[in-house]
Amino acid sequence: MTVIEAPTDPRLDDYRNVPDPELLQRRGIFVAEGRLVVRRLLRESRYTVLSVMVTESAHAALADVLRARPDVPVYVVPSSLMNDITGFNIHRGCLAAGERPAASRWQDSVAQTRTVIVLERMANADNVGGIFRNAAAFGAGAVLLDEASTDPLYRKAIRTSMGASLLVPFARAEPWPAVLQELRTAGFATVAMTPSSSASTIRSIVDAVGARPVALALGHEGEGLTAAALEACEYRARIPMVSTVDSLNVAAAAAIALYELGRGVV
């Protein structure tokens, strides 16, 4: 543990201007925030942790896990200094910097996986994080994202996922939407989620899929999947709802679909 009170100390450079995600990506790092998420990063994640920056109270709350990771530098700072350096104040006095890994091939991410989530144009970090949390909860083995979807290592996505985006493997789905056809060729039942009344219910799709591995495709929060993505999928599935509601939040829809797909498994 090192106490730092000087805002210009270079050991704190990884935490400067944290709200700028492009800046963090250029540095080759990501930042996790909050005590529960940092605890998961330290105890469960496969990522290299570069350092932890905490206030005194957060240091006391994380003392057990910090003692178990003597390889990770821990910087204790006043809360006012933390806010000045990071540019925001919703971290509960606890941040950790991790090394951003090299991009994975999506084919490697789905190997030996029974359930894969595929996201197209998923722009909202809260939804991406929520979907990762659902993936962890219902046993999905990987998440694939097209280039237009939000970075799962963006701090808001990590926070909303409760650290699940640090645990569930993910990769960019390239080229898009040809990935969906490649998944079909590899034996996956590709299921496109849509509110269209012409689609089959998710429960009937589960019965049709049987024991095959499944790739569950979800699209943009407002517009859904593109026509090309829908066309590339083998099945189109909907969640039955009363007529006064036209659709669900995409993370909620993912949770219901994953639950149905995992009946008897999870």
Looking at residue 91, its pLDDT comes to 59
* DSSP-assigned letter for residue 14: G
User: Residue 238 to residues 47, 130, 202, 260: CA-CA distances in angstroms?
Assistant: 36, 19, 6, 12
Nearest Cα to Cα of residue 97 among 168, 38, 56, 23 = 38
Would you give the distance in Å from CA 113 to the centre of its chain?
Answer: 17
Give residue 242's pLDDT. Answer: 81
pLDDT at 263 over 70: no
pLDDT beyond 60 at 58: yes
Sheet holding 49-54, edge to edge: 2-3, 74-76, 49-54, 94-99, 29-33
| Residue range 106-261 in CATH 3.10.20.30 | no
pLDDT tens digit string along 71-94?
999 999 998 888 888 877 665 789
Peptide bond into 152 cis (omega under 30): no
Measure the CA–CA gap between 91 and 89, rounded to whole angstroms: 6
* Largest pairwise CA distance in the chain: 63
Q: Mean pLDDT over residues 45-57, rounded?
A: 95
**CATH 3.30.1330.30 location in the chain:** 2-99
- Listed in order, the ranges of the chain carrying CATH 3.40.1280.10 are 106-261
- Over 70: is that where the pLDDT of 266 sits? no
Which uninterrupted H or E stretch holds 180? helix 178-185
Instruction: List the CATH code of the domain at 2-99.
Output: 3.30.1330.30
Closest CA to 196 of 165, 240, 158: 240
What mean pLDDT value characterizes the chain? Answer: 92
